[in-house]
Amino acid sequence: MGKVKTVYICQECGYESPKWMGKCPGCGSWNTFIEEVKAEKLSKIQSAAYNKVQPLKIQDIEITKEIRYSTYLEELDRVLGGGIVKGSLVLVGGDPGIGKSTLLLQMANNVAKSGNIVLYVSGEESSKQIKLRAERLNVLSENLLVLPETNLSYIEETITNLKPDVVVIDSIQTVYRPELQSAPGSVSQVREATAVLMNIAKNLNIATFIVGHVTKEGSIAGPRVLEHMVDTVLYFEGERHNTYRVLRAVKNRFGSTNEIGVFEMKQFGLEEVKNPSEILLSGRPKDVPGSCVVCSMEGTRPILIEVQALTSQTSFGMPRRMTTGLDYNRVILLIAVLEKRVGMHIQTYDVYVNVAGGIKIDEPAIDLGVLCSIASSFKNLPIDNEVVIIGEVGLTGEVRGVNLIDKRILEAQKLGFKKCIIPKENMKGLDIIKGIQIVPVENIYEALEEVLGG
């Protein structure tokens, strides 16, 4: 027998090293290297399981319409691209306690009610614990089967014999292959388990959902190859102390990655939020400086959100800047534009900017609204409650055009807003929309003149 070879693998990013290191060169994490047995071939799947195919001319390949299951959760269907695709492998990540298991159990119940067989494999909870949660969520479908198991070989055998329509693995970090020397949750075990589940999903045409733990930085734990192997990667976001949750796709081979789904966590599970704009604007203060409404596009859906800003005289030599739900560097850039182009002396003021509702936005179309809210707080002048501000701001103070302006204006009109400030560039080809005043602006001077009177 040959000598057993070992290698040290970072449990955060999967970086391999022949010797132990304190700091990982790949991700910069400390004390994450664990010794694992080096195996030439981790997978035990025989090559006979693969169908040998010949190369085809691209014009000779016939395509058929993808068969999808509806989850009967419109928000989840939207993020998935129209429903669950047969044979797809979906990775769901999120912070502990955010609601991943709750969402998948509700989804599994809905799919099972429609006549499909669903297998829910849990490596973190016993069958009694799942039953208690199922009763709270009113999950009672007879087509929903529960398997509390962590042994990958037994899970593989059960799926092959049962041939369900949908499989849920909760979570991938608890599943292990007995033949491997490393512990459950290690890079080798996670990679092997995902490879086996991927082959089962493709060969048997079974839609598979796997839950992945996240690191303290917010990315899915384990090797980066994990996200490359799956068809779809979903992140469940939100503050644990906030009732609203956002489901966002960062990779999707069967749909758009721009769509989001909004849910509200209640006593009896997650409920869909059909109109996020109305919910996010509820409780908005009136006639208060530093508050304004902006419109952001999440895929094909416009969402109205309140941006709040607070400026206060700093007590130290270095003013403080803090943002929640916005890109920090983008806000610093907008503050610099205000100082240089408008002449506001904000360098001696602390600036705090917050997006109400716990939503994160990275779209440049909200630049003008953020800038106006900072100026409003600095001058202590309120912005009209019936105004929506849309536009991207450049370094020279110009207001640039944004996409899908008509959908943004219609969303503002639907929620009762009377005025919409938009970039002048977007007036070209814009249809007349009755019931709302449209004010085009070319630069930030015109915008500030309109909302603050100069």
Confidence of residue 432 (pLDDT cuts 50, 70, 90): confident
Mean pLDDT of 10-16: 79
Q: How far apart are CA 234 and CA 88, in angstroms?
A: 13
pLDDT at 43 over 50: no
How wide is the angle at C-alpha 392 spanned by C-alphas 389 and 393, nearest 5°?
A: 105
Asked if 295 and 423 touch (Cβ cutoff 8 Å), the reply is no
pLDDT in the model for residue 434: 83
Q: How far apart are CA 11 and CA 7, in angstroms?
A: 12
Bridge partners of 368, per DSSP, are none
Q: Worst-scoring range by mean pLDDT, 38-42, 122-126, 284-288, 377-381? A: 38-42
Asked if 172 and 211 touch (Cβ cutoff 8 Å), the reply is yes
CA nearest to 405, candidates 382, 381, 422: 422
Average predicted confidence (pLDDT) for the chain: 87
**CA 164 and chain centroid, separation:** 28
Residue numbers belonging to the annotated binding site for ATP? 94-101
Q: How far apart are CA 131 and CA 134, in angstroms?
A: 5
pLDDT in the model for residue 42: 42
Confidence of residue 44 (pLDDT cuts 50, 70, 90): very low
Residue numbers belonging to the annotated binding site? 94-101
SS3 track for the chain = CCCCCEEEEECCCCCEECCCCCECCCCCCECCEEEEECCCCCCCCCHHHCCCCCCCCHHHCCCCCCCEECCCCHHHHHHHCCCEECCCEEEEEECCCCCHHHHHHHHHHHHHHCCCCEEEEECCCCHHHHHHHHHHCCCCCCCEEEEECCEHHHHHHHHHHHCCCEEEEECHHHCECCCCCCCCCCHHHHHHHHHHHHHHHHHHCCEEEEEECECCCCCECCCCHHHHHCCEEEEEECCCCCCEEEEEEEEECCCCCCCEEEEEEECCEEEECCCHHHHHCCCCCCCCCCEEEEEEEECCEEEEEEEEEEEEECCCCCCCEEEECCCHHHHHHHHHHHHHHHCCCHHHEEEEEEECCCCCCCCHHHHHHHHHHHHHHHHCCCCCCCEEECCEECCCCEEECCCCHHHHHHHHHHCCCCEEEEEHHHHCCCCCCCCCEEEEECEHHHHHHHHHCC
pLDDT in the model for residue 219: 67
CA nearest to 174, candidates 166, 183, 165: 183
Alpha-carbon torsion 81, 83, 87, 91, what sign? positive
Q: What is the pTM of this model?
A: 0.75
Asked if 422 and 405 touch (Cβ cutoff 8 Å), the reply is yes
Q: Which of 61-75, 151-165, 422-436 has the highest mean pLDDT?
A: 151-165
Q: How far apart are CA 448 and CA 454, in angstroms?
A: 6
Q: What is the pLDDT of residues 236-261, one digit of tens each?
A: 887 666 778 889 888 999 888 878 88
Confidence of residue 47 (pLDDT cuts 50, 70, 90): very low
